[in-house]
Amino acid sequence: MNPQSHFSWAESLSPKLLKSPWWIGHIPFAFELVGRLGPRSIVELGTYSGSSFAAFCQAVRASGGNGHCYGVDLWAGDIHMGSFDEALYQEISSYVTSEYPGIATLIRKDFNEAASSFADGSIDLLHIDGTHTFEAVANDFHTWFPKLSDRSVVLFHDTNVTVENVGEPAKKFGVKRFFDSVTPNYPHIEFKHCYGLGVLFVGKELPAAVRELIDLSKAPDFDPYFAAKGAAVSKQFADMGVELPKHGAYGDEPVTPTPLWRRAVNRIRALIQ
């Protein structure tokens, strides 16, 4: 397989917004997936600083379709990331309002509360990236499952974080365990780079281009291609000279760090040096 000839969306788009390193290695795949899926509605649970959300918006605009992106978050932090400063929300809100009017909507609500705002069967792409305990991920998936369309895809970030314990049982990462519990029921892809991304193809009427993507994922150079594309984006971020957070990326101390946060920052520093 010649990846360059198959993945035109990943090849042709370059990310416009890179605010933090946690997810950006998956942006090339996000471009390719959105381009092939042509989603009418994208919902992201856990938008944080907006790098992944902005990538979805960028791909929707590039596709020329009428899709809409919804970023759901309280922007208050969680047990893994600590607490967030208000500036975090204000910055991403200002950016998407000016850059993607008519495409982007931020919803500042609890995930469970926000679900009632969406009709059943209306969401084509759901990105779950909130609190990462097994119970939280399971709740997000099952709460939003009725909202998924017959052509839907669900993304799970951090399937390759192997921290077994960060001090208390409630703080264990459970994304991988939950993802593994549902993969026997659906076609899926799992990337190991950039902390892992699980891709679950839930819809029974997936577009032909998405079914082709599933077939292409079986080729031996599929994962290395997207890992290399992701590494190039991470290098782009590193070359920007953005100071990686000691207490967060915004203001003086917008994030109150947890032990896991400090550990993750050190890992990211090591990866891009």
Helix (H, G, I), strand (E, B) or coil at 24: helix
Q: Is 4 exposed, middle or buried (0-12, 13-18, 19+ CB in 10 A)?
A: exposed
Structural domain of 55? 3-272
Q: What is the dihedral of CA 76, 78, 84, 88, to 10 degrees?
A: -70
pLDDT, residue 168, reads 42
pLDDT at 169 over 90: no
Residue 248 φ/ψ, nearest 5 degrees: 125, 170
Taking the C-alpha atoms of residue 186 and residue 254, their distance in angstroms, rounded to an integer, is: 39
Q: Please state the rounded mean pLDDT for residues 141-167.
A: 85
pLDDT, residue 48, reads 84
CATH number reported for the structural domain that contains residue 132 in this entry? 3.40.50.150
Name the token pair of 11.
Answer: 């090849």
Distances (CA, A) of 145 to 183, 186, 202: 15, 13, 9
Taking the C-alpha atoms of residue 80 and residue 43, their distance in angstroms, rounded to an integer, is: 21
Candidate from 75-79, 121-125, 186-190 with smallest mean pLDDT = 75-79
Taking the C-alpha atoms of residue 152 and residue 174, their distance in angstroms, rounded to an integer, is: 23
- CB of 47 within 8 A of CB of 76? no
Q: Is residue 137 left, alpha or beta, with left meaning phi > 0 and alpha meaning psi from -120 to 50? A: alpha
State what percent of residues in the chain have pLDDT above 90: 67
Helix (H, G, I), strand (E, B) or coil at 59: helix
Taking the C-alpha atoms of residue 223 and residue 217, their distance in angstroms, rounded to an integer, is: 7
pLDDT band, residue 122 (cuts 50/70/90) = very high
Task: Write the DSSP symbol of residue 195.
Answer: T
Candidate from 22-31, 104-113, 261-270 with smallest mean pLDDT = 261-270
- CB of 77 within 8 A of CB of 256? yes
Taking the C-alpha atoms of residue 87 and residue 43, their distance in angstroms, rounded to an integer, is: 22
Taking the C-alpha atoms of residue 45 and residue 141, their distance in angstroms, rounded to an integer, is: 10
CB atoms within 10 A of CB 229: 21
Task: Write the DSSP symbol of residue 252.
Answer: S
pLDDT, residue 192, reads 93
Number of domains making up the chain:
1
**What is the overall mean pLDDT for the chain?**
85
SS3 content of the chain, % helix, strand, coil (to 5): 45, 15, 40
Higher pLDDT pick, 258 / 241: 241
